[in-house]
Amino acid sequence: MPAALRFTGEDKDLTLDELAAFVEAARRADIPGDNPVRAELSTSGKIKTVEIALGGDR
């Protein structure tokens, strides 16, 4: 399994601040901007987790 950066909402769902922290961490890790982001959604459509592969694994 490739290494990945994964963020989960502190409560149940990610907040805008948590999503911004995820993007900032990905930028600091030099993850290319064109890497796809995977997200797990709740049944109501809110983001529960986001994940992006480190390096060239897409």
pLDDT of residue 9: 83
Q: H or E stretch including 28? A: helix 16-28
Joined together, the tokens standing for residue 4 give 């990945």
Which amino acid type is present at position 44?
S
Q: Whole-prediction pTM value?
A: 0.82
pLDDT of residue 26: 94
pLDDT of residue 39: 95
Encode the chain (58 residues) as per-residue pLDDT tens digits: 458 899 988 788 999 999 999 999 999 999 999 999 999 998 999 999 999 998 755 5
pLDDT of residue 56: 59
Per the CB < 8 A criterion, the answer to whether 6 and 47 are in contact is no
